[in-house]
Structure 1
């Protein structure tokens, strides 16, 4: 009978498969970072940090632009009001206008920085509608390119992202100022 290796010895053993390990995503998948009360809201705490530390790309008077910590594609941004609220009709007219203006500017900047060919833009209102953090309104700006999605999200619940969040934030923040 052939000798059987322990499973510890199998880690890193070359075989025919390429593996893209994304253990950091387990926090998102398991919901470990979901806030349970307003004091834990990441969209309230991000603008209180230094821009690079909070992944903030740009700041307005009523809203700000931040990198998505769990992006669907490189350059995935969120536009968030500073005010902690969860329902779109609760925005003031000034907040509504600024969120729209920041969204337009973000699209221009992303196109300039990465040549995005299209965008998915939208809000998921409430957990039942798919909001990962339903307690604080936020609008997604997801850049898209021809052929950018593959089988990984479907088969492996994994997204291959070729750019680190901090690097993307630095490029977008610099281009925002141009």
Structure 2
């Protein structure tokens, strides 16, 4: 049996499992880096997937604990789409992927791992990123540590936040 080194998974394996929804975050906290929150908007936020399909796997989710896309209001939808747009720009600028998968799974039958809280996925893709490891041993290789990915993406989102605040001040 081949062994794949993935040290960030040990925290999940040995750590306590939350009794609450992992997407129900307090609006203001000093735990954003630990939770891998990259950006907080008025109605929604951007968070890294801590069990990514690929480096840079991001999620956009509303603060409200809602299951279905039809349950969010126009302001939430608008902000979430703006964040999907900005995440795409940032991923393209930083990682230069050859493609990006975007999706939402609504309900368990659709494959939602956390069906109780709506969230959109953005997964950067490169030709050949699912190498023989995925087919031969059902293993994905994530070449960059989550901490490094967070540190490299956070300045982009900080700049986006500054631009958002400047735009509000001009109004």
- With structure 2 as the length reference, what TM-score do the two structures score? 0.81
Counterparts of 1:93 and 1:71, CA distance in 2: 29
Distance between the aligned counterparts of 2:34 and 2:67, measured in 1? 24
The alignment partner of 1:42 has SS state of coil
In 1, Cα distance between equivalents of 2:60 and 2:137: 29
**What secondary structure sits across from 2:24 in the alignment?**
helix
Q: Which has the larger radius of gyration?
A: 1
What's the C-alpha RMSD, in Å, of the aligned pairs?
2.3
Kindly provide the CA deviation profile for residues 30-84 of structure 1, in whole angstroms up to 9, marking residues without a partner as x. xx95x7xxx6100013764522111001111100000001100000000010000
Structure 1 segments unaligned to the other structure (5+ residues): 1-16
- Partners of 2:116 and 2:132 lie apart in 1 by 31
Residue 63 of structure 1, aligned match among 13, 37, 44? 44
1:95-110 alignment to 2 at 5 Å?
95-110=76-91
Maintained 8 Å contact 1:80/1:99 = yes
Contact 1:46–1:54 (Cα < 8 Å) also in 2: no
C-alpha contact 1:58 1:64 (8 A) present in aligned 2 = yes
Q: Once the two structures are superposed, what CA deviation does each residue of 1:106-139 show, in whole Å capped at 9, x if it has no partner?
A: 0111111111121000101111111110000000
Equivalent pair of 2:25/2:63 in contact (CA under 8 Å): no
Kept in 2: contact 1:46–1:55 (CA 8 A): no
TM, length-normalised to structure 1: 0.78
Compared CA separation, residues 161 and 151, structure 1 to 2 (3 A): same
Q: How does 1:6-21 map to 2 (within 5 A)?
A: 19-21=3-5
1:45 aligns with 2:25: yes
